[in-house]
Amino acid sequence: MIREYRTTVEISGPLMFVENVEGVTYEELAEIELPDGTIRHGRVLEVNESMALVQLFEGSSGVGISQSVVRFLGKSVELGVSETMLGRVFDGQGRPRAPFDTFPPIVPDRMININGSPLNPYARDYPAEFIQTGLSSIDGINTLVRGQKLPVFSASGLPHSAVAAQIARQARVIGEGESFAVVFAALGITFEEADYFIRDFKSTGAMDRAVVFLNLADDPAIERIATPRLALTAAEYLAYQKDMHILVILTDMTNYCDALREISAARREVPGRRGYPGYLYTDLSTIYERAGRVKGRKGSITQIPILTMPEDDKTHPIPDLTGYITEGQLILNRELHKRGVYPPMDVMESLSRLKDKGIGKGKTREDHADLFNQLMAAYSAGKNARELAVILGTAALSPLDQQYLRFAEEYERRYISQGEGENRTIEETLDLGWELLKLLPREEMKRVRPEHLDKYWPAGEHS
């Protein structure tokens, strides 16, 4: 049953109030026909007696009260999915997006509600398969595993796009030739940035294995609320129905949160910190928690959301709440970037919570965990020494502190730093770690089990 109404009584920001409606349900999809025949879309945010509150995806400009016809479609927002989505570029509502994609719409295999249902925690399988990204700062230190959600906390002016593209290009599980695909959602980023990713995907042949959803900076902001959910719906279909391993890249989540704030403000809700709605955590979790693995199903969804921290501030609500939901974070550091370190990964503040299950014997190598602990401890001591050197001068440092200082320099220059095209194997990364540790006295290796120390750094070998 399709019902048409000409009873719009108020338009305010991206919201529209329609009166005297009947049988309208929460989250229902609505179509708004303007006098010139253009169709806009929206969804029901609230129904109160006979009044419906509709959120307009394309914004309200050009929508009038008297001439608009509102139709409620009796279903919630859905995405038509099919395997032929691979290689295609869609807009923020799932339609082919010119000029990147000039083909006709896909023929859907099925229609799926974009909100998904919560995955039963009992049905989850713990992510434990090591993904080799070829970046030492990730593989060696903040190891990514299949089914993890690991965001990149970046800031304006930092090369997060290059890092994400490099991960998308190089990521693989060692020794497996399983089907792998990238789902990429652009949320309010510029044409240039989106174009960078698409060109990168095309030039490396990754485009054939990619599904792209674009909501660019000049596209309607409210549409961004739906875009990540479209991307994840496509990802879930490919992962769990078509047995593929999907890497989902969402950039930039800050723009998504701002769109959410816009709607919240228009609804005059009680704001939480910095004007973001109190339910930001819950809302973000319905996106991030859609990463994972499911028992008995082959595919998986690994998520790398990217967000830019306003004023490089990690305690801003967006990175803060994201960090509470995701399984770690990769933080890019402006100071390292200025010193020419690429990727400018702040390994001290970055963290992969799932790494412990993804590393070690049979996954990477038996010494990985101890080596990681030792490298972190040594780098931390080196950074302390560097601070001290600023105050006292290098000459005043103890000989041991000087060794640590040198270690920290070399660690940044050789371990964290690498080329945009450089794809290191995990063995190369681990061996490099040992090589650098040998800049220090052997008895400083407190975090390494004696058996590993003896194997990778036999007593008596130079230090």
Partner 1 sequence: MTKGTIRKVAGPLVVAGGMAEARMYDVVYVSDMRLLGEIIEIKGDAASIQVYEETWGLGPGDRVYSTGEPLSLELGPGLLTSIYDGIQRPLDKVRERSGDWISRGINIPGLDHSRRWEFTPTATVGSAATGGDFLGSVPETATVEHRIMIPPGISGTLAWVAPAGSYTIDEVIAKVRTASGEEVDLRMYQKWPVRRARPVQKKMAPTEPLVTGQRVIDAFFPVGKGGTACVPGPFGSGKTVIQHQLAKWADAEIVVYVGCGERGNEMTDVLQEFPEILDPRSGKPLILRTVLVANTSNMPVAAREASVYTGMTIAEYFRDMGYSVALMADSTSRWAEAMREMSGRLEEMPGEEGYPAYLGTRIAEFYERAGKVHCLCSGEREGALTVVGAVSPAGGDLSDPVVQATLRVVKVFWSLQARLAYMRHFPAIGWLESYSLYTENLRDWYGKELDAGWTALRNGAIALLQEEANLQEIARLVGAESLSSEDQLTLFTARSIREDFLHQNAFHEVDTFCSMRKQVRLLGLIMSIHESLSRAIGAGASPKDLFSLPFRESVARARYVPENRLEEIDRILETAGSEIEGVLEQTARAGEGA
Residues in region 68-87 near partner 1 by CB under 8 A: 76
Contact stretch for partner 1 (CB under 8 A) within 5-13, 173-181, 375-383, 409-417: 375-383
Rounded to 5°, angle at Cα 246 from 100 and 332: 80
Cβ of residue 420: shortest distance to partner 1, in angstroms? 27
* Nearest to 142, CA basis, from 415, 335, 381, 340: 415
C-beta closer to partner 1: residue 32 or 369: 369
| Cα separation, 353 vs 351, whole angstroms | 6
Tell me if 279 contacts partner 1 by CB under 8 A: yes
Cβ(332)–Cβ(153) under 8 Å?
yes
Tell me if 294 contacts partner 1 by CB under 8 A: yes
Contact stretch for partner 1 (CB under 8 A) within 10-18, 173-181, 190-198, 374-382: 374-382
Site for partner 1 in 212-251 (CB under 8 A): 240
Give 219's DSSP letter.
S
Give 277's DSSP letter.
B
Tell me if 451 contacts partner 1 by CB under 8 A: no
| Cα separation, 319 vs 297, whole angstroms | 31
Asked if the peptide bond before residue 370 counts as cis, ω within 30 degrees of 0, the response is: no
C-beta closer to partner 1: residue 446 or 462: 446
Write out the DSSP string of 413-439.
Answer: IIII---TT----HHHHHHHHHHHHTT
Give the binding-site size for partner 1 (rule: CB under 8 A): 80
Site for partner 1 in 128-157 (CB under 8 A): 147
Contact stretch for partner 1 (CB under 8 A) within 3-11, 216-224, 299-307, 372-380: 372-380
Q: Alpha carbon of 174 to those of 29, 133, 171, 388: distances in Å?
A: 44, 10, 9, 42
Q: Which residue in 1, 104, 117, 175 binds partner 1 (CB under 8 A)?
A: 117
The 3-state DSSP class for residue 79 equals strand
Cβ of residue 269: shortest distance to partner 1, in angstroms? 6
Tell me if 115 contacts partner 1 by CB under 8 A: yes
| Cα separation, 293 vs 125, whole angstroms | 5
| Cα separation, 463 vs 456, whole angstroms | 12
Separation of CA 402 from chain center: 39
- Let me know if 64 is exposed, middle or buried by CB neighbors in 10 A (0-12, 13-18, 19+): exposed
C-beta closer to partner 1: residue 240 or 256: 240
Contact stretch for partner 1 (CB under 8 A) within 55-63, 164-172, 351-359, 425-433: 351-359
C-beta closer to partner 1: residue 210 or 347: 347
Cβ of residue 424: shortest distance to partner 1, in angstroms? 23
| Cα separation, 455 vs 262, whole angstroms | 58
Cβ of residue 410: shortest distance to partner 1, in angstroms? 19
End-to-end CA distance of the chain: 79
Q: Alpha carbon of 245 to those of 87, 298, 300, 449: distances in Å?
A: 16, 8, 5, 35
Cβ of residue 195: shortest distance to partner 1, in angstroms? 33
The pairing of beta strand 180-189 with beta strand 210-216:
parallel
Q: Which residue in 69, 106, 217, 388 binds partner 1 (CB under 8 A)?
A: 388
Site for partner 1 in 397-436 (CB under 8 A): 398
The pairing of beta strand 351-352 with beta strand 328-331:
antiparallel
**Cβ of 13: how many Cβ atoms within 10 Å?**
15
- Give the per-residue contact string, 307-326, with partner 1 (x = CB under 8 A; - = no): -------xxxx--xx-xxx-
Q: Which residue in 92, 188, 292, 305 binds partner 1 (CB under 8 A)?
A: 292
Q: Which residue in 4, 9, 20, 26 binds partner 1 (CB under 8 A)?
A: 26
C-beta closer to partner 1: residue 46 or 178: 46
Cβ of residue 301: shortest distance to partner 1, in angstroms? 12
Give 67's DSSP letter.
T
Contact stretch for partner 1 (CB under 8 A) within 2-10, 80-88, 225-233, 392-400: 392-400
C-beta closer to partner 1: residue 66 or 120: 120
Separation of CA 383 from chain center: 29
Tell me if 37 contacts partner 1 by CB under 8 A: no
Tell me if 4 contacts partner 1 by CB under 8 A: no
Cβ of residue 199: shortest distance to partner 1, in angstroms? 34
C-beta closer to partner 1: residue 87 or 310: 310
